A and B are shown apart, each in its own frame.
Chain A
Amino acid sequence: MRDNIVTSVYIIGAGATPVAEHYGRSLADLASEAVRAAFAQVPDLDAGRVGAVYVANALGESMASQSQLGSYLAAAVGLAGIPALRIEAAGASGGAALHQAAQAVASGSCDVAVVLGAEKVTDRLDGALEAALALATDAEAEGIHGITLTAQWALLMRRYMYEHGYAAEVFAPFPVNAHANAAKNPQALYRFGISADKYRKAGQIASPLNMLDCSSVADGAAALIIASERLARELSGPLVRLAGTAIGSDIPALGARPDPLDLAASRASAHVALARAHLGLGDVQVLELSDPHGITAVLALESIGFYERGAAPRHAADGAIAPAGRTPLATAGGYKARGDIAGASGVYQVVELVRQLKGVAGPTQVPGARVALAQCLGGVGVTAATSVLVAESL
């Protein structure tokens, strides 16, 4: 398949709200803050040049009683009038919205597009959230029987432990790393470190997943401004190019997949995105993955091919996922500690990677990072959306 590309695509602005229980703020309030923060990075950009808005949101209908979030949030942030659509792919909404926006700019149909991820989940109680997240399962084969995403990952974790002879504690490095990084991130939901010992002692949520291996979904909004090359080069400072994006899909029901521990959509979207960027796995220096649980990150790392099957936990234990490691992960705290913002998470991922590539990520900066990969998953990898970002010098 050939893409009709007339321009490279650049991320010229990025901003996000803290992830928190924003009880007193609406979806529109959060969205406005994120968009303002992104535009603050390009003060000379006339907002009238924005040609389209892509909203990433998975839970708007169920948790905020609002559909048509494209137009709704475009108006809320002062961009009423232009094409505005909400992209939904459960947890992959963020990367999917960015992919659609990138295609619009790359094809020349607009010069500037805004990608806005936003979720507001704290107006309803816990049971409603759990049910809304479970909509990402196969409704007829799985959802109707009451399974939740957490339970699905727990089943896969149990199988993975059996196949590779691991105890649950081999996953501890993932939340430990996430929390250590989030402790240095003022915008994170949880800003304290945890130890492997605390992980071992944590109460069970869905065996073998314990409380310190499950992310918390909270409120937040993140925004990206993407632009054509011509417009990007009008700006000063280091540039971040969106070198490749891709979406993959998989058979929804886990029981219908030939190998449930292999996330085929994760692999396919990563490989296509890297191919479009003319890069390989070995070029990637910093990652953002869907990591609500250690097992999620492990299966993605192995499915994509960063590590051999069964090897990711050992590498993580050796420091591979720390900022100084081979595959730095969750440098802002990941889903577990920065917070899980459901459909908006994929946009938060890219906001962090832009900071890494511009060298302004602070204490968790991966030194000299020039190539970054973000991937977010919808459900258990039913949809996967990958973005490859490259830093360009002046």
Chain B
Amino acid sequence: MMKPNRPVGLVGYGVYVPRYRIAAKEIARVWTDGQGGVPVDSKSVPGPDEDTITMSIEAARSALARAQVPAERLGAVWIGSESHPYSVKPSGTVVAEALGASPWVSAADWEFACKAGSEALTAGMAMVGSGMADYVLAVGADTAQGRPGDALEYTASAGAAALLIGPAEQALATIEATVSYVTDTPDFYRRADRPYPMHGNRFTGEPAYFHTIESAARRLLGDLDRTPGDFTYAVFHQPNAKFPQVVAKRLGFSDAQIAPGLLSPQIGNTYSGAALAGLCATLDVASPGDTIFVTSYGSGAGSDAYALTVTDAILERRARAPLTAAYLARAEFVDYAIYVKWRGKLVMG
């Protein structure tokens, strides 16, 4: 496991989920005449003027509000996504400027499929833990695209989670250690010039998601000499409703432990935001002294596992920004026609 030289933690956190939703059954109505099951109930849909940058800014503002840290003190603004608006021009430059963190700041983009945000988190732990900066903002955000009629269209959604990393003594949740596990596993990938990813259907399950998460999680538990029962809560990457529940059970975590952080049934897979938004939703309800075990997953493939402990500071800071539940409750359903119009899936010329 990896631990920084000086203890670090989360001094703030924030989440953003677009208000729009599409029901999975509505997608099924169009593609399968309503036959067969659906992997989630609904997914979030970004509005016509929303993207990874806009969502990151709102989530980051909530994180800063909770932390009460001035943006100028941020050493880095790092956005992890697989839907950065530009291939060349980091989302971080726009977010940093919008927050007031520029110009004395680091701002490159991060990519590792659905774990781009946790990559930024780990690097942020290192930057603060080494003393190079006091505060780093790590954001996981995506407006994921699914090929029309493909299985992933039911779950590819939009959302952002921002984590403000700082010294442990200022944290609302300290981060004890982390483990990263990476292999060359082509379960899901997208070439630069393509709008939609390729995925290996059933290959994305056992050899990819399950093997990778279980490897990272078991290693961190082993290194910390702890069992699943030692943790109050657990959060896993959630590409659909079923996978996180199955992996939790296999590792020995209960349904109750993962319940607060399980958002995919309602908002789908927010990709780089998924595990981190689950962590934010868990922080929304956690009490001082609670422990949280988080494992992200990114196709390609890799997992980052973390062990956090909630501090007293959570009580005062939680209410300074909207809770995840507020974003979930703010739902406006659209039909498939509006959805394809907004998601740019219509051939316009």
Contacts and interface: CB of A to CB of B under 8 A. Distances in A.
Contacts of B344: none
A203 interface: yes
Interface string B164-202: 000000000000000000000000000000000010111
A204 interface: yes
A125 interface: yes
Nearest to A204: B35
B200 A125 contact: yes
Interface residues of A, number: 9
A122 interface: yes
Interface string B24-41: 000000001001110000
B207 A23 contact: yes
Nearest to B36: A203
A211 B36 CA distance: 9
A126 B150 CA distance: 12
A158 to B, nearest CB: 17
B36 A23 contact: no
A126 B207 contact: no
Interface in A108-135: 122, 125-126
A29 interface: no
Nearest to A23: B207
B24 to A, nearest CB: 14
A21 interface: yes
B8 to A, nearest CB: 38
B203 A24 contact: no
A24 B36 contact: no
B35 A122 contact: no
Contact of B201 (A126, A203, A211): A126
Nearest to B202: A21
Nearest to A211: B36
A203 B33 CA distance: 11
Interface string A204-242: 100000010000000000000000000000000000000
A23 B37 CA distance: 26
B225 to A, nearest CB: 31
Contacts of B37: 203
A204 B36 CA distance: 8
Interface residues of B, number: 10
B37 to A, nearest CB: 8
Contacts of B201: 125-126
B202 to A, nearest CB: 6
A122 B37 CA distance: 24
Contacts of A204: 35
Contacts of A125: 198, 200-201
A393 B262 CA distance: 63
A203 B38 CA distance: 12
Q: DSSP majority for the A interface? A: loop
Contacts of B32: 203
Nearest to A122: B203
B202 A203 contact: no
B33 to A, nearest CB: 9
A346 to B, nearest CB: 25
Contacts of B200: 125
A204 B207 CA distance: 28
A203 B34 CA distance: 10
Interface in B19-74: 32, 35-37
A23 B203 contact: yes
A24 B207 contact: yes
B53 to A, nearest CB: 33
Contacts of B35: 203-204
Contacts of A211: 36
A122 B203 CA distance: 9
Interface in A171-204: 203-204
A5 to B, nearest CB: 47
A311 B61 CA distance: 72
Contacts of B36: 203, 211
Interface string B325-339: 000000000000000
Nearest to B37: A203
A202 to B, nearest CB: 9
Nearest to B35: A203
Interface in B185-228: 198, 200-203, 207
B151 to A, nearest CB: 10
B299 to A, nearest CB: 15
B186 to A, nearest CB: 11
A203 B32 CA distance: 10
Nearest to B208: A23
Interface string B99-132: 0000000000000000000000000000000000
A126 B35 CA distance: 19
A126 B202 CA distance: 10
Nearest to A216: B202
A203 B35 CA distance: 6
A168 to B, nearest CB: 14
B4 to A, nearest CB: 36
Nearest to A126: B201
Interface string A38-58: 000000000000000000000
Most chain-A CB neighbours within 10 Å: which of B32, B200, B207? Answer: B200
A6 to B, nearest CB: 49
Nearest to B185: A23
A211 B37 CA distance: 12
B112 to A, nearest CB: 22
Contacts of B207: 23-24
A23 B186 CA distance: 12
Nearest to B200: A125
A383 B200 CA distance: 33
Interface in B245-264: none
Nearest to A202: B36
A330 B203 CA distance: 28
Nearest to A218: B202
A316 B200 CA distance: 38
A10 to B, nearest CB: 40
A124 to B, nearest CB: 10
Interface of B: 32, 35-37, 198, 200-203, 207
12 contacts: A21-B202, A21-B203, A23-B203, A23-B207, A125-B198, A125-B200, A126-B201, A203-B32, A203-B35, A203-B36, A203-B37, A211-B36
Given A203-B32, A203-B35, A211-B36, 13 more contacts: A21-B202, A21-B203, A23-B203, A23-B207, A24-B207, A122-B203, A125-B198, A125-B200, A125-B201, A126-B201, A203-B36, A203-B37, A204-B35
A-B complex: 3 closest residue pairs judged by Cβ atoms: A203-B36, A203-B35, A23-B207
